[in-house]
Amino acid sequence: MADCIFCKIANKEIPSNIAYEDEKIVCFHDMEPQAPAHVLIIPKKHIASLDDMTEEDKELLGYLMFKVQDIAALLGLKNGYRLVNNCGEDGMQTVKHVHFHLLGKRKLTWPPG
């Protein structure tokens, strides 16, 4: 999608502080971190939200979920972490490209919001 900021980051059209990347996903540091470690993990394929997934997307998003443990280890999140997805207007999804916030390196409180 031409006007999607996350697609532009994935395509290297916008610079970002990349923490991890492979052929399917990109992980980059959040510009307004809510924890000492706060990265966004996105598929390189544009999927607007979890509500827009298709049958063909389940392997890609399963792969992304599988890589979370590796990214958490890379970031040194030894005492745990939180993985968050905001979906839709009430879920406060501000960028219409499915993404997951990985937060850690501090005690995270509950409820989150």
Q: What is the CATH number of the domain that holds 92?
A: 3.30.428.10
Residue 109 lies in a domain: no
Does some domain include residue 18?
yes
DSSP one-letter code for 80: -
Range of the domain at 87: 5-104
- 110 part of a folded domain: no
Distances (CA, A) of 50 to 12, 42, 45, 107: 24, 12, 13, 27
pLDDT in tens, 33-80: 999 999 999 999 999 999 999 999 999 999 999 999 999 999 999 999
- Tell me, yes or no, whether 40 lies in a domain: yes
Q: Could you say which of 38, 46, 97, 99 is catalytic?
A: 99
What total number of domains does the chain contain? 1
Contact 87/50 with Cβ under 8 angstroms? yes
According to the model, what pLDDT value does residue 112 have? 74
Is position 111 within any domain?
no
Residue 12 included in any domain: yes
- Output 113 or 88, whichever has higher pLDDT: 88
In a domain, 62, yes or no: yes
Q: How many CA atoms lie within 13 A of 90 on its CB side?
A: 0
Q: Is residue 36 part of a domain?
A: yes
Report whether pLDDT(113) > 70.
Answer: no
Say whether 99 is catalytic.
Answer: yes
In this prediction the pTM is 0.95
Q: Residue 27 forms beta bridges with which residues? A: 20, 41
How is residue 32 written in tokens? Answer: 């307004």
Mean pLDDT of 11-21: 96
